[in-house]
Amino acid sequence: MKVTYVHHSCFVVELKEHILVFDYFPGDSLDSIRFHGCLPDLDPRKHVFFFASHAHKDHFHTEIFSYLRSLPDVTYVLSKDIRLTAALKREAGLIFADKARIKRVGPLTSHEYQDLKVETLRSNEEGVAFVVEVEGLRIFHAGDLSWWNWGDEGELLGEISGRNYKRELRRLKGRHIDLAFIPLDPRLGNGASSGIKYFLRHEICDLVFPMHLWQQYDLITELKRDPEISDLKDKIVEMDRENIVFDIPDER
């Protein structure tokens, strides 16, 4: 298994027969920050799946549809809050025949596409989180599902967010997760690590990739030094740049 951290919340997971691309957008899409990661070459012999957890510009862009013309077996799994308007379809160059490759999913639903299973959780921000089962692995991408703990300025909102976050994670209880991608957002200040630490403590997971970092990779180092999770720090994957690639051995 090979995992490529592209940027922000975008990861590519390449398996023997499948390639999974989560929440890709081009790095120049946002006004406030410039990302430099790019997608690796996607093997046309494999089943390629693009996942988009919600419509925010730092999680979805119509550029993903460009692969409709170059990959013979590509499927798009999009949260239903992503509205494929006539203008968006024109921008993406979509034609009627492409409709069969685009799957729309809402929260708390289950789907099967070929030999891949997808379950969705309800995000407490926008859209969905994905639980993907394929080739004997279970992969969790949280999208914007997190404990949005804004501290004193939003104490009540943080409490509500935490309650909703914990409720959704209970749907994973008792299930082994091989890889998880979980937000660690620096904008939350002292509350940045609340969600990822809760996940580490309450879910059975081999490796956790922090994401939604806005390029502040020092937060991962700080997290691994946190005494509250000292016994779990080896589960946290440390990243320090975009387009870093991790070769992960199959130990099953």
The pLDDT of residue 152: 58
Q: Going by DSSP bridges, is the β-strand pair 102-105/110-113 parallel, antiparallel, or unpaired? A: unpaired
Q: How confident is the model at residue 177 (pLDDT cuts 50, 70, 90)?
A: very high
Average pLDDT, the chain: 95
The pLDDT of residue 150: 77
The residues near 57 (Cβ < 8 Å, ≥ 6 apart) are 25, 29, 30
247: enclosing H helix or E strand: strand 244-247
How far is 39 from 210, CA to CA, in rounded Å? 19
The pLDDT of residue 250: 77
Q: pTM higher than 0.85 for the full model?
A: yes
Could you tell me which residue, 150 or 240, shows the higher pLDDT? 240
Distances in Å between the alpha carbon of 242 and those of 69, 100, 188? 27, 33, 22
Condensed to tens digits (0 to 9), the pLDDT of residues 180-190 reads 999 999 999 98
Residues listed for the chain: 252
The residues near 152 (Cβ < 8 Å, ≥ 6 apart) are none
Give the mean pLDDT of 164-178.
97
